[in-house]
């Protein structure tokens, strides 16, 4: 006989602990064996907890001390030829290392190679410096930034024999750290530029690209990582001193379990799953403390929608995304600053921005594509213009409609993932943030500035535009969302000369008419927006002249809820399709007024999280 459970039920997996996104999320620091000599400002290399080398540093005097760690204790080995602290270094094991630069009473260019038993002097850096960020092996390494007579952006590449100057960092930086495999692939992070830095720069063998920042800005941090896509950052001076640990997955930094104590100017080494932190401050003369980072390989991958029973906490859990837990973080800057651009995006890791204005009179054709870590310039628009409307919920399929190129236009171009093609024009020329939603083949666009302010709406079927029912309220400067020409939402905008001019009105399109629905909590104009349907939308930034705003609100189909604010208040945001309520992006715009253009990028993320199921 069949059982009821087999007919109507489902199996619930029993787990000893909660699911996690990766092994790194299960990682933790534990006490290890002490160094033989207390110090700070040394350098470390190695393959993991049981294979590390620490060399140099300072303790009442500059040190040449070299110690090797086997996972239990440190052993003193032959000293360096030149004592130093705050050097750079590279290597993948305790038996093969390179030390370069650093300082004694002055900055050094000396380079030394370690073969597992002794140090040998080899060719010097081209410039003497300390506070170097570095990564690589004994035959293929990068030395980046540091302090010469001022903070430096100089970079040198090591080929196993000599150093060659290569492309400079985008920002001069000292006391940063690095991780990577060789002189063709790595990152540097943190440090001090003109202030304590969160900056991350990625190296591809020929140039540096700014990518997503650390969550905690700091200098004198340590790190571990033998790959440019798997790096750990820990400790440093924020200020104050911090125990914060972050993991880099090739795209972004995630906060993981902290060191047991806040510390700075320490030594790292290993990988993002097996690392050492040792030889740091405080105390004033350095520390012998060692911490071991281990991320076990045995874990259960988090799976959105999964239901399971946690036997450790005696609770049923479900993995979901709670919009109130969403936050904004700084993303990789655009290559070209602009405001009043168009966009077509499905998430903060799949975005397209096009057109816009570089004030005062430059109407842009530039198109940039984002993969979550870098912007790449792709094929230009055929016509430079600003203040048009972008629709499309994919970076590979978008529509840019109307706008301004010295006069208001009705021109339309369609993006197919490779190039832009001119399409049939709209019936009404318009600009200044008309809004709507949909795809490159099925969209609705409403409002804007003709002049005057418009209620006019037009529907796009992939070939032609058709005039349809008008908005209830004439306005421009709106945000929008939607899935097609039968499903859209527009919100906010400018209703001048009506006072107040900052509209909080929201209208929903059902394929035949616009209906007023629940209002925004904060009326504003020139805001950014996105959403993949009329029942889920996000509104952010905008202006209540003369102020730029950082408010964020999300729409659940019934009402608007205030969420975490933008990192930077912004107006003239990219318009209008910027992702979803779970993953959105703000790119370009202005933080002060129409004459300013930003490269600013901010990413909205709602994390997956395990939630306890309760019965009431």
Longest dimension (CA), the chain: 86
Asked whether residue 9 carries a pLDDT value surpassing 60, the answer given is no
Residue 325's alpha-carbon distances to 308, 536, 578, in angstroms, are: 21, 16, 19
482 in the same domain as 404: yes
Q: Evaluate whether residue 507 is within a structural domain.
A: yes
524 in the same domain as 386: yes
- Please give the pLDDT value at position 10: 60
* Number of domains the chain is built from: 2
354 in the same domain as 252: no
Q: What is the mean pLDDT of residues 109-126?
A: 98
Length of the chain in terms of residues written: 616
Q: Which of 279, 313, 339 is the last residue of a domain?
A: 279
Q: Which tops the pLDDT comparison, 316 or 447? A: 447
Asked whether residue 24 carries a pLDDT value surpassing 90, the answer given is no
- Please give the pLDDT value at position 72: 97
Q: Evaluate whether residue 1 is within a structural domain.
A: no
Q: Evaluate whether residue 249 is within a structural domain.
A: yes
User: Which tokens in the block code for residue 269?
Assistant: 């080494």
User: Which tokens in the block code for residue 215?
Assistant: 């969550």
Radius of gyration of the chain (CA): 28
- Please give the pLDDT value at position 6: 53
3-state SS track over 354-369: ECCEECCCEECCCEEE
Q: What is the mean pLDDT of residues 482-489?
A: 95
The 10s digit of each residue's pLDDT in 460-484 is 999 999 999 999 999 999 999 999 9
Q: How confident is the model at residue 1 (pLDDT cuts 50, 70, 90)?
A: very low
The 10s digit of each residue's pLDDT in 150-166 is 999 999 999 999 999 99
Q: How confident is the model at residue 575 (pLDDT cuts 50, 70, 90)?
A: low
The 10s digit of each residue's pLDDT in 71-111 is 999 999 999 999 999 999 999 999 999 999 999 999 999 99
Q: Evaluate whether residue 240 is within a structural domain.
A: yes
Q: How confident is the model at residue 5 (pLDDT cuts 50, 70, 90)?
A: very low
Q: Evaluate whether residue 314 is within a structural domain.
A: no
Please enumerate in sequence order all residues whose Cβ is within 8 A of that of 462, keeping only pairs 6 or more positions apart, or say none: 440, 441, 442
Least confident window among 131-145, 257-271, 557-571, 598-612: 598-612
Q: What is the mean pLDDT of residues 234-238?
A: 96
Using CA atoms, how far apart are residues 299 and 603, in angstroms rounded to an integer? 28
491 in the same domain as 588: yes
605 in the same domain as 471: yes
User: Which tokens in the block code for residue 574?
Assistant: 């990219």
Q: Which of 279, 298, 313 is the last residue of a domain?
A: 279
- CATH number of the CATH domain containing 47: 2.120.10.80
3-state SS track over 444-473: EEECCECCCECCCEEEECCCCEEEECCCCC
Q: Which helix (H) or strand (E) holds 8?
A: helix 4-8
Asked whether residue 22 carries a pLDDT value surpassing 70, the answer given is yes
Q: Are 199 and 212 in contact (CB under 8 A)?
A: no
Q: Evaluate whether residue 212 is within a structural domain.
A: yes
Q: Share the mean pLDDT of the chain.
A: 92
Asked whether residue 2 carries a pLDDT value surpassing 70, the answer given is no
Residue among 535, 579, 540, 578 nearest 557 (CA): 535
Least confident window among 6-15, 58-67, 445-454, 556-565: 6-15
269 in the same domain as 341: no
Quickly count: other Cβ atoms within 10 Å of residue 27's Cβ: 22
Asked whether residue 4 carries a pLDDT value surpassing 60, the answer given is no
* Structural domain boundaries, residue 602: 325-612
Mean pLDDT comparison of 360-374, 466-480, 596-610, highest-scoring range: 466-480
Q: Which tops the pLDDT comparison, 435 or 10? A: 435
Q: Identify the residue whose tokens are 């208040």.
A: 569
Please enumerate in sequence order all residues whose Cβ is within 8 A of that of 578, keeping only pairs 6 or more positions apart, or say none: 343, 345, 351, 528, 529, 530, 538, 584, 585, 586, 587
DSSP string, 558-587: S-EEEEPPPSS-BBS--EE--B-SSEEEEE
Q: What is the mean pLDDT of residues 280-293?
A: 94
Q: Evaluate whether residue 438 is within a structural domain.
A: yes
Q: Evaluate whether residue 440 is within a structural domain.
A: yes
- Please give the pLDDT value at position 98: 98
552 in the same domain as 426: yes
Percent of the chain with pLDDT over 90: 79
Q: Which of 221, 250, 279 is the last residue of a domain?
A: 279
267 in the same domain as 408: no
- Please give the pLDDT value at position 546: 80
- Please give the pLDDT value at position 244: 97
Asked whether residue 181 carries a pLDDT value surpassing 60, the answer given is yes
Please enumerate in sequence order all residues whose Cβ is within 8 A of that of 8, keeping only pairs 6 or more positions apart, or say none: none
241 in the same domain as 335: no
Whether this model's pTM surpasses 0.75: no
Quickly count: other Cβ atoms within 10 Å of residue 318's Cβ: 14
Burial of 85 (0-12, 13-18, 19+ CB in 10 A): buried
214 in the same domain as 121: yes
The 10s digit of each residue's pLDDT in 26-46 is 899 999 999 999 999 999 999
Q: How confident is the model at residue 374 (pLDDT cuts 50, 70, 90)?
A: confident
- Please give the pLDDT value at position 257: 95
46 in the same domain as 125: yes
Q: What is the mean pLDDT of residues 328-346?
A: 92
Using CA atoms, how far apart are residues 602 and 451, in angstroms rounded to an integer? 32
Least confident window among 16-20, 208-212, 493-497: 16-20
333 in the same domain as 226: no
User: Which tokens in the block code for residue 580?
Assistant: 């979803």
């Amino acid at each position: 006989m069949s059982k009821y459970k087999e007919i109507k039920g489902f199996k619930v997996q029993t787990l000893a602990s909660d699911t996690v996104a990766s092994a790194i999320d299960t990682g933790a620091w534990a006490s290890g064996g002490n160094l033989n000599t207390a110090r700070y400002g040394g350098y470390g290399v190695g393959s993991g907890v049981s294979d590390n080398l620490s060399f140099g540093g300072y303790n009442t005097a500059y040190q040449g001390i070299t110690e090797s760690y086997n996972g239990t204790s440190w052993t003193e080995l032959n000293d360096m030829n030149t004592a130093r602290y705050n050097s750079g270094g590279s290597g993948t094991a305790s038996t093969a290392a390179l030390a370069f630069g650093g300082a004694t009473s002055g900055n050094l260019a000396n380079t030394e190679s370690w073969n597992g038993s002794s140090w040998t002097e080899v060719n010097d850096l081209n410039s003497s410096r300390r506070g170097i960020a570095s990564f690589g092996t004994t035959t293929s390494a990068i030395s980046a930034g540091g302090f010469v007579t001022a903070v430096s952006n100089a970079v040198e590449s090591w080929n196993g024999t000599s150093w060659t100057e290569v492309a400079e960092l985008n920002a001069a930086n000292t006391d940063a750290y690095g991780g990577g495999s060789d002189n063709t692939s790595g990152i540097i992070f943190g440090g001090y530029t003109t202030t304590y830095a969160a900056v991350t720069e990625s190296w591809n063998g020929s140039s540096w690209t700014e990518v997503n920042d650390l969550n905690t800005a700091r200098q004198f941090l340590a790190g571990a990582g033998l790959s440019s896509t798997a790096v750990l950052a820990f400790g440093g001076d924020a200020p104050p001193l911090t125990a914060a640990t972050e993991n880099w997955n090739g795209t972004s930094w995630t906060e993981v379990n902290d060191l047991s104590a806040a510390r700075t100017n320490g030594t790292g080494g290993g990988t993002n799953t097996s690392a050492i932190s040792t030889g740091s401050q405080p105390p004033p003369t350095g520390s012998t403390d060692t911490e071991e980072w281990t991320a076990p390989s045995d874990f259960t991958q988090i799976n959105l929608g999964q239901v399971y029973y946690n036997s450790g906490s005696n609770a049923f859990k479900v993995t979901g995304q709670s919009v109130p837990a969403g936050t904004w973080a700084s993303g990789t800057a655009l290559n070209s600053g602009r405001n009043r651009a168009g966009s077509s995006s499905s998430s903060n890791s799949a975005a397209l921005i096009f057109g816009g204005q570089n004030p005062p009179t430059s109407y842009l054709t530039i198109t940039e594509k984002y993969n979550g870590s870098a912007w790449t310039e792709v094929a230009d628009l055929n016509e430079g213009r600003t203040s048009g409307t972008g629709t499309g919920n994919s970076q590979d399929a978008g529509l840019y409609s109307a706008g301004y190129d010295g006069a208001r236009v009705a021109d339309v171009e369609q993006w197919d993932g490779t190039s832009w093609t001119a399409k049939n024009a709209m019936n009404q020329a318009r600009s200044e943030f008309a809004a709507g939603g949909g795809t490159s083949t099925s969209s609705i666009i409403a409002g804007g500035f003709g002049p005057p302010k418009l209620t006019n709406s037009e529907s796009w079927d992939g070939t032609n535009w058709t005039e349809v029912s008008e908005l209830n309220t004439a306005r421009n400067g709106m945000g929008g969302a939607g899935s097609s020409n039968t499903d859209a939402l527009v919100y906010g905008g400018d209703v001048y000369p009506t006072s107040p001019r900052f509209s909080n009105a929201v209208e929903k399109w059902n394929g035949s008419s616009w209906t007023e629905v629940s209002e925004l909590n904060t009326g504003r104009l020139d805001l950014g927006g996105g959403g993949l349907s009329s029942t889920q939308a996000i509104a952010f930034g905008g202006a209540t002249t003369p102020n730029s705003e950082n408010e964020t609100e999300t729409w659940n189909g019934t009402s608007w809820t205030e969420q975490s604010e933008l990192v930077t208040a912004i107006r003239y945001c990219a318009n209008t399709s910027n992702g979803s309520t779970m993953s959105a992006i703000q790119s370009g715009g202005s933080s002060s007024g129409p004459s300013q253009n930003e490269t600013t990028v901010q990413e909205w993320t709602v994390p997956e999280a395990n939630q306890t199921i309760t019965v009431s």
